[in-house]
């Protein structure tokens, strides 16, 4: 069976939390394992670690503060996240970034929390998982100052335009693509851009429980997205890129292993593709 890694799953503090065990099991049946559980704030990151400890090598997580929660960022927040990264389940800093679409937190506080988390990722030499919505100019300006010090950086759930995609690729970012691309209405521009992402820079995700692929048939009874649907998203993206689904799935699995430093999960006979090997 093909193997998949869902690189962004919201299992804590959302609609899937109460049925997390069933969600994880349904994903595993479809070959979607491990899952990267997103830490949206310090409390959620702590709870994510606890959940991951129940599923060794099946769940990993990030630790950070989403821009929606940036108003909660305090002088000791960096140190708290730093302590969380001591847990072996934490594989990236984040989800951090800027969101000027909803502005749930004041923009100056969003920028402060983002910069502090980038600085921490650089200090710890950990990958960073980022969010950007309607904030390209400020996001790019801040990230550019730190990018050379970061070992790896991922912009998850990319929904931008051609210009922003090229700017992020020029910064050597990994790009996460969700089921947004399966929406013939709002995902049309993204569908045109997906073939432009280099093989070694694309990752796939559900961003569950959000962004249920609109084109799925039969349509799931629940409106909640789940990691079990990642194979559908993968095949849809492979078709857009004009690539055989099996080859594409293998490539993005290797990309995910490499980005999050999960080489220990690979059977000895499987070689993980590196950026140099695929460029």
Beta bridge partners of 203: 176
Torsion of CA 206, 208, 210, 216, to 10 degrees: 50
- The arithmetic mean of pLDDT across residues 266-272, rounded, is 44
- % pLDDT > 90, the chain: 92
- % pLDDT > 70, the chain: 95
User: 174-185 pLDDT, tens per residue?
Assistant: 999 999 999 999
**Predicted pLDDT of residue 270:** 37
Homologous superfamily (CATH) for 4-278: Metal-dependent hydrolases (3.20.20.140)
In the chain, what are the domain boundaries? 4-278
**Predicted pLDDT of residue 267:** 55
Grade residue 139 by pLDDT with cuts at 50, 70 and 90: very high
Q: State the average pLDDT for the chain.
A: 94
Q: Inform me whether the pLDDT recorded for 54 exceeds 90.
A: yes
Lowest-confidence segment of 97-106, 214-223, 263-272 by average pLDDT? 263-272
Q: Inform me whether the pLDDT recorded for 276 exceeds 60.
A: no
- The arithmetic mean of pLDDT across residues 253-266, rounded, is 93
Give the pTM.
Answer: 0.94
Beta bridge partners of 43: none
Grade residue 120 by pLDDT with cuts at 50, 70 and 90: very high
> How far apart (Å, rounded) are the C-alpha atoms in residues 216 and 236?
10
**Predicted pLDDT of residue 212:** 96
CB proximity list for 11: less than 8 A, separation 6 or greater: 17, 20, 23, 24, 35, 37, 38, 48, 51, 208
Beta bridge partners of 6: 35
End-to-end CA distance of the chain: 27
CB proximity list for 89: less than 8 A, separation 6 or greater: 48, 49, 52, 53, 59, 60, 61
- The arithmetic mean of pLDDT across residues 193-211, rounded, is 97
């Amino acid at each position: 069976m093909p193997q998949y890694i869902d690189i962004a799953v919201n299992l804590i503090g959302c609609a899937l939390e109460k049925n997390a065990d069933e969600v994880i099991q349904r994903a595993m049946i479809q070959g979607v394992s491990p899952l990267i559980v997103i830490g949206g704030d310090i409390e959620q990151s702590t709870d994510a670690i606890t959940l991951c400890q129940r599923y060794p090598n099946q769940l990993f997580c990030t630790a950070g503060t989403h821009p929606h929660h940036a108003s909660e960022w305090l002088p000791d927040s960096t140190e708290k996240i730093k302590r969380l990264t001591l847990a072996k389940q934490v594989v990236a800093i984040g989800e951090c970034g800027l969101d000027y679409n909803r502005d749930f937190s004041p923009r100056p506080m969003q920028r402060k929390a983002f910069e502090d988390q980038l600085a921490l990722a650089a200090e710890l030499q950990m990958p960073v998982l980022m969010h950007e919505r309607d904030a390209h100019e400020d996001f790019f300006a801040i990230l550019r100052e730190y990018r050379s010090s970061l070992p790896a950086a991922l912009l998850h759930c990319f929904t931008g335009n051609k210009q922003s995609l090229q700017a992020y690729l020029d910064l050597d970012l990994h790009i996460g693509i969700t089921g947004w691309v399966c929406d013939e209405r709002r995902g049309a521009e993204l569908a045109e851009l997906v073939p432009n992402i280099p093989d070694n820079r694309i990752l796939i995700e559900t961003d569950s429980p959000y962004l249920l692929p609109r084109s799925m048939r039969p349509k799931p009874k629940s409106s909640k997205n789940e990691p079990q649907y990642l194979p559908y998203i993968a095949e849809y993206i492979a078709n857009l890129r004009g690539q055989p689904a099996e080859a594409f799935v293998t490539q993005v699995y290797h990309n995910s292993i490499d980005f999050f430093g999960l080489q220990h999960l690979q059977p000895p006979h499987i070689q993980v593709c590196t950026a140099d090997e695929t460029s």
